């Protein structure tokens, strides 16, 4: 080969490598913007929650339902998005979901009563349900194996990073404009996310399998939705049936019926919504359980800490926004590091260290009476421990999953993960409501922090089972 031909060949190879790297960078950008949209919405809503509670004069367990109205459909629709993504294409589902999120945000912005606010939150939850499973599946499909942990870390770090300006914007909006204006920001960020997804996430290249929608496991979707919905109703039944939480046996009976029916149906279904055999992959099954427990902790803390600082220390929305921004920074500081370590041999140690740190911090919160700066310092420590585990769990869960079922597996993993979030918020609200009936407010919060610490201990034991 002549020198000029060799030089041209090398140049074309280098251009192809640069093009591939650029495509991956653009793809990762397209995946991160929807996460930023979702996180800004959630972080601003967290700061606005005390104001919404006061506006409608709600008890703690009813207040938790404003969070549950989002998180319940968010969880229920995750496996649906994951399974449909394997057949219909992930980019198209992304765009549909963002459009639905915009509609829900508009309803929340114009809400003048609790019912309309709850409907808007439900639509927001359905719209964002696909973000986590679709992003994880795309990273697993498109990125080289030795880069997936780093990509997961970068993608996971966007959430904490995006949540830093959210509380500040939310605090300003609540104090100077009104709580409904936090949803105006959600609308703007959703429009931006729609543009980036449409530009950078490639559409499906292969044809849709013949009869995919006709053979889809719609009964499985219905049974799983019924199981999760009635389970949350059972945990927080007073708002629905007037019966105290955990005492309405009718709701428990329907929950068990839906759960058992779903389990039996999925074993026989030709194309099941959730291939339960995937949980037999040890790291996938164990990491799914650990991720679920982690989200019980995170959702409980997310629900409790803003109310705790407002009720016990008298912080206003602006103060809460500043603290929430610093807390997000603490999570962010260690999230990407956890993802990088997950590509090596330290993933299991990272998880054990994470849950161990959170267990220590929450035990101190449950047992010590501290000034405001001390309480916030412990919360920041808990946030750092939480950040360390995030990307590591994602990477470990998806490491041994075949590419052909990456969407389904990511949907199952995300469902397990965010079921923990839904249960965590509901249980925290019920526990706080019951504790406030028999003890002073500060002691009631400490009792619930102790319950969350017990969840950390369980998470630590579960993570110990992961393969090194």
Which residue bears the tokens 């795309």? 138
What are the tens digits of pLDDT across the range 19-69? 444 478 888 888 888 988 998 888 888 888 888 988 888 877 677 788 888
Count of other CB atoms within 10 angstroms of residue 205: 6
Token digits for 401?
């999953």
Reference 50, options 152, 175, 166; nearest CA is: 175
Of 218, 204, 211, 226, nearest to 88 (Cα)? 204
Pinpoint the alpha helices (H) of 368-436: 372-398, 406-436
Residue 6 lies in a domain: no
318 and 279 fall within a common domain: yes
Cα diameter, the chain: 88
* Residue after which a domain boundary falls, among 228, 244, 270: 270
CB crowding 213-248: b at 16 or more within 10 Å, else e:
eeebbeebbebbbbbbbbbbbbbbbbbeeeeebeeb
My answer on whether 418 and 342 are in the same domain is yes
Both tokens of 170, joined, read 């939310």
Question: Would you state the pLDDT for residue 363?
Answer: 94
In this structure, the answer to whether residues 225 and 359 fall within a common structural domain is no
pLDDT at 106: 95
CA nearest to 283, candidates 466, 463, 468, 412 = 466
280 with 396, same domain: the answer is yes
Is 294 in the same domain as 182?
A: yes
Residue 252, exposed/middle/buried by CB under 10 A (0-12, 13-18, 19+)? Answer: middle
Q: What is the pTM of this model?
A: 0.70
**What was the pLDDT predicted at 184?**
92
How far is residue 386 CA from its own chain's centroid? 13
Contact of 342 with 395, CB cutoff 8 Å: yes
How far apart (Å, rounded) are the C-alpha atoms in residues 414 and 93?
16
Q: Measured between alpha carbons, how far is residue 228 from residues 77, 218, 306, 381, 459 in Å?
A: 11, 16, 26, 32, 21
How many domains does the chain divide into?
A: 2
- pLDDT for res 127: 94
Residues of the chain short of pLDDT 50, as ranges, are 1-22
Position 344 in a domain: yes
* Among 246, 270, 294, residue at a domain's last position: 270
Q: Which domain holds residue 311?
A: 24-202+212-216+271-463
Report if residue 12 sits inside a domain.
no
Same domain? 252 vs 301: no
* 186 vs 190: CA distance, rounded Å: 6
* 194, 66: one domain: yes
Angle between helices 182-200 and 3-56 (to 10 degrees): 160
Report pLDDT for 30.
87
Domain co-membership, 305 together with 402: yes
- Whether residue 152 sits in one domain with residue 180: yes
295 is a domain residue: yes
Domain shared by 147 and 252, yes or no? no
Mark whether 110 and 229 lie in a shared domain.
no
pLDDT, residue 449, reads: 94
The torsion angles phi and psi of 198, rounded to 5 degrees, stand at -65, -30
Within-domain flag for 408: yes
CB atoms inside a 10 Å sphere around CB 207 = 7
In a domain, 16, yes or no: no
Residue where a domain stops, chosen among 270, 289, 314: 270
HSE-CB at 128 with a 13 A cutoff on CA atoms is 30
Q: How far apart are CA 93 and CA 429, in angstroms?
A: 33
CATH number at residue 146: 1.20.1250.20
- Give the pLDDT confidence of 250-272 residue by residue, as tens digits: 999 999 999 999 999 988 888 88
Residues 135 and 265 in one domain: no
Residue 7 lies in a domain: no
Asked if residue 3 belongs to a domain, the reply is no
Say what the pLDDT of residue 208 is: 58
């Amino acid at each position: 080969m002549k020198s000029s031909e060799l030089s041209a060949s090398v140049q074309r190879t280098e251009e192809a490598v640069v093009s591939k790297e650029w495509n991956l960078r653009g793809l990762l950008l397209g995946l991160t913007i929807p996460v930023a949209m979702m996180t800004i919405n959630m972080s601003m809503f967290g700061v606005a929650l005390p104001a919404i509670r006061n506006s409608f004069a709600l008890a703690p367990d009813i207040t938790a339902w404003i969070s549950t109205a989002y998180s319940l459909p968010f969880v229920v629709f995750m496996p649906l998005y994951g399974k449909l993504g394997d057949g219909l294409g992930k980019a198209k589902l992304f765009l549909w979901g963002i459009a639905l999120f915009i509609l829900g945000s508009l309803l929340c912005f114009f809400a003048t009563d609790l019912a309309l606010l709850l409907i808007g939150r439900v639509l927001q939850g359905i719209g964002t349900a696909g973000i986590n499973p679709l992003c994880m599946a795309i990273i697993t499909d498109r990125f080289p194996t030795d880069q997936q942990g780093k990509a997961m870390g970068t993608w996971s770090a966007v959430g904490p990073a995006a949540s830093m300006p959210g509380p500040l914007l939310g605090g300003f909006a609540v104090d100077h404009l009104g709580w409904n204006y936090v949803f105006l920001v959600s609308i703007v960020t959703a429009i931006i996310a729609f543009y980036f997804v449409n530009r950078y996430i490639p559409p499906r290249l292969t044809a849709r399998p013949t009869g995919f929608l006709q053979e889809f496991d719609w009964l499985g979707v219905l049974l799983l939705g019924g199981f999760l919905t009635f389970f949350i109703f059972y945990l927080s039944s007073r708002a629905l049936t007037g019966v105290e939480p955990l005492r309405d046996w009718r709701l428990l009976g329907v929950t068990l019926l839906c759960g058992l029916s779903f389990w039996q149906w999925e074993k026989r279904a030709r194309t099941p919504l959730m291939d339960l055999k995937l949980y037999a992959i040890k790291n996938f099954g164990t990491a799914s359980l650990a991720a679920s427990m982690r989200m019980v902790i995170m959702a409980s803390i997310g629900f409790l800490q803003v109310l705790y600082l407002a009720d016990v220390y008298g912080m206003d929305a602006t103060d809460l926004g500043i603290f929430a921004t610093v807390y997000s920074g603490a999570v962010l500081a260690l999230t990407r590091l956890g993802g990088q370590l997950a590509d090596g041999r330290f993933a299991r140690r990272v998880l054990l260290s994470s849950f161990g740190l959170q267990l220590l911090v929450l035990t101190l919160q449950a047992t010590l009476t501290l000034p405001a700066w001390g309480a916030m310092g412990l919360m920041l420590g808990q946030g750092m421990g939480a950040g360390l585990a995030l990307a590591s769990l994602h990477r470990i869960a998806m490491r041994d999953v075949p590419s052909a079922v990456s969407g389904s597996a990511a949907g199952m993993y995300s469902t397990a993960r965010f079921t923990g979030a839904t249960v965590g918020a509901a249980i925290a609200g019920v526990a706080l409501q019951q504790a406030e009936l028999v003890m002073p407010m500060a002691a009631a919060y400490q009792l619930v922090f102790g319950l969350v610490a017990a969840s950390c201990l369980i998470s630590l034991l579960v993570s110990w089972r992961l393969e090194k």
